[in-house]
Structure 1
Amino acid sequence: MEQICFELENIEINYLDKEILKIDRLAVHQFDRIGIVGKNGVGKSTLLKLLTGHIQPTQGKVNRHVEYGYFEQLEAPNGNEADPRLLGKLQVSKKQDFLSGGEQTRLKLAQVFSHYYECLLIDEPTTHLDQEGISYLLDELRYYYGALVLISHDRAVLDELVTTIWEIHDGKVNVYAGNYSEYIAQKQLERTQQTQAHEQFLKEKNRLEKAAEEKKKTAEKIAKASSMSKKESKAKPNRMFETKSKGTGQKALQRAAKAIEHRVEKLHTVEAVQEERPIIFHQASTLELHNKFPIMADRLSICAGDNVLLEDVSFQIPLGKKIAITGNNGSGKSTLFQTIVDKGPGLTISPKAKIGLFQQMSYQFTSDETVLQLLQTSSTYEDGFLRSVLHSMRFVGTDLQKKVQSLSGGEAIRLQICQLFLGEYNILLLDEPTNFLDIHAIQALEKFIKSYKGTILFISHDKQFIANVADGQFHISDKKLIQK
C-alpha cells in the first residue's frame, strides 16, 4: 500500500470572512503526480503553502508524513521608474538584480533538485525559463521517484508530468484522473452533459407548465358553464345536481393544476452553460497598413555593448500575421523588439506603423482612475465591449472599480495587455506576455491575438501557446534569425 505523504482533514481557510478553501479530506500519496489548476486568486498557491505549513488553516489539520522540497513562485513585480516610450499612465522599471528572472528560476530549481525529497511541491517553475530551462525541468521531473504536486500555466508541461488534476473552483477541490488534456476533455464532456441536462430541464418544465395552464383553462370554462347553469337551475330545479357535479370537476382540475405547479417548483434546476461574448477587435481605417511587409530588415546587426546578438540578419514580417520569436535567454529577442520600436538602422518600418510594446519589465500604474475608467479614457470602444475584454482577463465585479495604482504586479500586467489590444495600434510587440498569467488568462490572450486585425510579433517559450496562435516562427540561434 502506497504511503501517504500529506493528508488534509476538515480544512477551512477564510480571509476577511470570505471562504477561500473548504476541503473535507484530500491526500497526496507516495507516487502521485498532481497538477493544480484554477483561475488566479482561487487558492492554488495557498493550497501548496497549506501543505508546507507556511499557511495555517482557519480550522482542520494537515498531517505531514515525509520530507518535502518546495519551490515557491517568483512573484510578478511592481515598478517605479517612468519610461515615456510606453503608455503614458504606466510606469516601468527593469529589475537590477545580478541574476535575470530565468537565472533566478534555474538556481532555485537546482537547489530543490540537489537533495532527494520524497515529495516535491512546485509552484509555477516555468516562469522566465527558455526552452533549454524547460527541458532541464522536464528532465529532472520526468523520472523523479516520489510524489509531485505542481502548479503550472504551461499546458505542455502539465501534459508531460502529471497524471491527476486538482481543480480549485468555488473553494472546493475537484479531482480528475489524467493529464491536462484529458482534464480538458472531461470538462468539455461535463459542459456537453450540462447543456443536454439544461435542455431536458427546460423541456420538462415547459411541458408541465403547459399542462397546468391547460387544466386552469379547462377549470375556467367549467366555472363559466357552472355560472350559466346556476342561472338556469333557478328556473329548472332538476339541473341543480348537474351544477354541483361541474363544481366538483372544476375544483379537481384546480387541485391538479396546483399539483403540477408544485412539481415544477420541485424540478432540479440545471443552469445553462455560460458562453463568453466573442471578442472582436476593430481597426480604424486610419490605422490600416497597405505594405505587404510592414517590418523588413536588410543585413541588420544588433549589439549589446561589445556582445553581438544578431549579425547581418534579413527578414520580412507579413502584414496581419502573428509571428513567434523564439530563442534562448540572452539571445537578443527583447533587444530586437526594442530596435524595432526605435526604428534602428537596417530596418524598414511602414511610415503609418503605430507600435504598441509589452515588455518583460515591472509594471505599476500611477493614475487615480479605476480599472474601467482607465480603459474608457484610452479607448474608442463601447463600455459593454470594454467590460467583456476585462472579464476575459479576470477583472470581474468590484475589480472594475479598483484604483489602478493599487493593483498587484500580476493585475497590472493583465490590465496592460487589455490596454494594448484596445489601443490605437496596428502592430503589437509582446515580450513573453504569458508570464504571470494563469491558464484561463492565457487562453483569453490567445483569443485576443486570433481576433486582432493588426500584425503581432510575440516572444514566448510556451509551446502550446505558440502552436495555438502563431502563423509563423523565427528562431534566434548563433546570431542568426532562422525561419522555422
Structure 2
Amino acid sequence: MEYIKITNLKVEYQGEVLFQAPHLNVQDQQIIGLIGDNGVGKTTLVNIIAEKPTVFEVEGQVKRNCHTILVPQILNNSEQSGGEKEKAAIVRALLQINQTQNSLLILDEPTSNLDIEQQRWLIKALDSLKQPILLISHDQAFLSKLVNVIWQIKDQQVHEFKGTYDEYQQFLRAQEKRQNAEYVQKQVEIKKLRKNQVDYETRAKKSTKKKKNISWSDWKIRDSSGLEKSLFRKSTLLKRRITKAEMTLKKPQVHQPITLGNIENMNLELSQKSSIVRFKTQDVAVHKKQLFSITKELKIKGKEKIALTGKNGAGKSVFLAKLFHKELAVWLNPQLKMGYFQQNMAQETEETATVKEVIYKNSIFNKTTTMQLLGDLHLQRSLDNQVSALSGGQLVCYKLAKVLLGEHNLLILDEPDNFLDISSINALEEFLRNYPFAVIVVSHDQKLLKDLNFTSWKIKNHKLITPSDFSSKENAKNANQISLLQFKLDKLISDPNASFNDIENISREINRISKKD
C-alpha cells in the first residue's frame, strides 16, 4: 500500500528554494530515517506531510492515503524530565496508531531526551509496529538498528536510498572514493590536453619563422600559411576543450580531520599524573533530595577523559553543575580552569559583539583550528552576526564552540550533542578525542560514547560507580570461584578413584581465573 505519494514538491521562502523532492513515497513496512544538517528543512518536510501549518511556500502534490500522527521534538526546558515527557508523548501516539487503520507515525528527534534504557524500549516498540514510520534522528546507533530507507536532504534536494543506515554509509564511502578517482583522472586528462595545446601553438609559431638553412627567396616561395592556420586552429579547439573541462571539474568535498596541537596559551598545561579534582565521600542531593552517593575518594587526573552515564533523573546534570559551581566536597587544583556547557544553554543573550569577535578573543587555539571547528558546527555564515541575533540552534552551537575553544583545562559537558546534526556530532567526537586536556561528558548517544571510549563513570542504584568498582566486584567473584574450585580439587586429590583428567581440568581452570586478576 502507498501511504504517501509526493510529486514535484518544491518548498521556498521569500523566493529562495529550501528543498525539492521530484518523487517520494511511503509504503508498507518502511521505517524511513530522515537525515541532514540542521536548517535544511527536515522538520518542514514532516510538517508538510502531516498537514501542519508552515510559513514556507509549497508547490507540488502530497497525496495522503492514511492518517498521520506526528510527535514533534520536545525541548526539555523545565524541571520535569524530558525523557519522561518524550516517552509519554510516544506512548500516546502508539496507542492512537493501534486504534487507527492506515496510519503513518512521524517522530521528530525521538531519542533526544531519552536515556539508554528508554532508547531500548523505543527501538523494541517501533520494531514491533506494523505501520510505516518516518523519523528524524541524529542518533546513528538508533538509525542503524531501525531504518530500512534513508531520505537525506542535501544540496536542496531530498535524496532517497533503499537500504539500512549502515548500507547507506557504505554507499557514501564508495561514492566518495569513486568521485576522488574521477577527479584525479580528469586532472590527468586536462594536463594531457594542455600539453598538446601548447605543443600545437609552439609548432604553429615555429612554422612562420625562416629556418637558417633556407634562403629568403626559397622561404618566400614556400607556402606555410596552411600549416600555420591548421596548427593554430587545433590549439584553439584544445583551449576550448580545456576551459570546458575545467568549468565542469569539481573537487570532491573531503573533511579534513581537525588538528588541536596549535595551542597559543601554554599556561593551562598540567601533568598527566597530577590530580586536578579530588572528590571526598559524600551524598549528592538537590532540594534536600538525595540523588546518589560517592562512597570513596575519587580523582580526575590532568588529561583524563570520563564519560558519565546513568538513567534520566539519576543526578548526572546536578553533579556536573555542582562541580562547576564548587558546591561539592572537593579539592580543586589551583591551576584548574573549568569550561561548562549545560543543557538549555540556548537562552536569549544581550551580547552585542559578533560571533567572530567573541570566539577569536576567547580561543586558545590558532585561527586554523578555530575556523575549522566553527565550520564543523555550521557557524561560518554567522561569523559577522551579533550573538544576540543568533537563532536558537545557532546559539547552542556558538556557546558550545565558546566552551570547547576557551581557556580551560577541564571541559564539563552536559549532553553537548543533544541538538547537533550528524556531521556536527562526528566533528565533536573528533575534537574531544584529540582535546589535550581533561574532559567529563554526559551523553546518551551510544555511538558517540563507543567511539570516544572514555573512562566510564556510572550512576547506578544511587551510587557513583567507577572502573575500580567493576574490577573489585570481578576480583571478588573470581576469588569465590577459585575457592570453590580449590575445594573440589582438594576432594579429588584425596579421592583414590578420581580421574586424572578431572584434576587436570580443574587445575587449568584455577590458573585461567587467577590470570584474570
Please tell me whether the aligned partners of residues 81 and 312 of structure 2 are also in contact (alpha carbons under 8 angstroms): no
Q: Does 1:386 align with 2:370?
A: yes
Q: 1:75 & 1:187 partners in 2: Cα distance?
A: 32
1:167 equivalent among 129, 148, 152: 152
Q: Quote the residue 1:29 is aligned against.
A: 27
Q: Quote the residue 1:258 is aligned against.
A: 236
SS at structure 2 position matched to 1:74: coil
Q: Quote the residue 1:333 is aligned against.
A: 316
Q: 1:22 & 1:121 partners in 2: Cα distance?
A: 20
Q: 1:161 & 1:410 partners in 2: Cα distance?
A: 27
Relative contact order: is structure 1 or structure 2 higher (C-alpha 8 Å, sep ≥ 6)? 1
> For each residue in 1:259-308, what CA deviation from the matched residue of structure 2 results, as whole angstroms up to 9, or x when unmatched?
22233234382312223454333443211122533223232321223422
Write the mapping of 1:403-418 to structure 2, written as runs, cut at 5 A. 403-418=386-401
SS at structure 2 position matched to 1:61: strand
Please tell me whether the aligned partners of residues 50 and 69 of structure 2 are also in contact (alpha carbons under 8 angstroms): no
2:268 equivalent among 276, 287, 297: 287
> For each residue in 1:308-329, what CA deviation from the matched residue of structure 2 results, as whole angstroms up to 9, or x when unmatched?
2222433333331321000001
Q: Cα offset for 1:157?
A: 0.6
TM-score (ref. length: structure 2):
0.83
Distance 1:352 1:58, change over 3 A: same
Q: Cα offset for 1:381?
A: 4.4
Please tell me whether the aligned partners of residues 303 and 310 of structure 1 are also in contact (alpha carbons under 8 angstroms): yes
Q: Quote the residue 1:199 is aligned against.
A: 184
Please tell me whether the aligned partners of residues 33 and 136 of structure 2 are also in contact (alpha carbons under 8 angstroms): yes
Distance 1:221 1:36, change over 3 A: same
Q: 1:276 & 1:312 partners in 2: Cα distance?
A: 42
Q: Quote the residue 2:461 is aligned against.
A: 478
SS at structure 1 position matched to 2:209: helix
Q: Does 1:68 align with 2:87?
A: no
Distance 1:311 1:139, change over 3 A: same
Q: 1:384 & 1:194 partners in 2: Cα distance?
A: 26
Q: 1:226 & 1:121 partners in 2: Cα distance?
A: 81
Q: Cα offset for 1:407?
A: 1.6
Write the mapping of 1:264-275 to structure 2, written as runs, cut at 5 A. 264-267=242-245, 269-275=248-254
TM-score (ref. length: structure 1):
0.89
**Equivalent residue letter for 1:32:** Q
Q: Does 1:420 align with 2:420?
A: no
2:418 equivalent among 408, 412, 435: 435
Between the two proteins, what is the percent identity of the paired residues? 28
**Residues 202-211 or 293-302, more deviating:** 293-302
Q: Cα offset for 1:226?
A: 7.2
Distance 1:96 1:152, change over 3 A: closer
Q: 2:213 & 2:350 partners in 1: Cα distance?
A: 79
Q: Quote the residue 1:131 is aligned against.
A: 116
Distance 1:275 1:406, change over 3 A: same
Q: Quote the residue 1:104 is aligned against.
A: 85
Q: Cα offset for 1:220?
A: 1.0
**Residues 254-263 or 323-332, more deviating:** 254-263
SS at structure 2 position matched to 1:324: strand
Q: 2:58 & 2:396 partners in 1: Cα distance?
A: 31
> For each residue in 1:370-397, what CA deviation from the matched residue of structure 2 results, as whole angstroms up to 9, or x when unmatched?
2112212323545454332211100123
1:377 equivalent among 341, 345, 361: 361
> For each residue in 1:197-216, what CA deviation from the matched residue of structure 2 results, as whole angstroms up to 9, or x when unmatched?
00000000110110010011
Please tell me whether the aligned partners of residues 7 and 62 of structure 1 are also in contact (alpha carbons under 8 angstroms): yes
Please tell me whether the aligned partners of residues 33 and 147 of structure 2 are also in contact (alpha carbons under 8 angstroms): yes
Q: Select the structure of larger CA radius of gyration.
A: 2
**Equivalent residue letter for 1:252:** S
Please tell me whether the aligned partners of residues 34 and 137 of structure 2 are also in contact (alpha carbons under 8 angstroms): yes
Q: Quote the residue 1:39 is aligned against.
A: 37
SS at structure 1 position matched to 2:208: helix
Q: Does 1:319 align with 2:309?
A: no
Q: Does 1:308 align with 2:290?
A: yes
Aligned length: 455
Distance 1:406 1:442, change over 3 A: same
Q: 2:85 & 2:4 partners in 1: Cα distance?
A: 28
Q: Quote the residue 1:360 is aligned against.
A: 343
Distance 1:41 1:345, change over 3 A: closer
Q: 1:345 & 1:208 partners in 2: Cα distance?
A: 71
Please tell me whether the aligned partners of residues 345 and 399 of structure 2 are also in contact (alpha carbons under 8 angstroms): no
Q: 1:23 & 1:345 partners in 2: Cα distance?
A: 54
Q: Quote the residue 1:87 is aligned against.
A: none
Q: 1:34 & 1:100 partners in 2: Cα distance?
A: 28
**Equivalent residue letter for 1:189:** A
SS at structure 1 position matched to 2:185: helix
**Residues 149-158 or 52-61, more deviating:** 52-61
Any gaps of 5 or more consecutive residues in structure 1? Answer: 77-94
Please tell me whether the aligned partners of residues 259 and 369 of structure 2 are also in contact (alpha carbons under 8 angstroms): no
Q: 2:325 & 2:41 partners in 1: Cα distance?
A: 41
**Equivalent residue letter for 1:44:** K
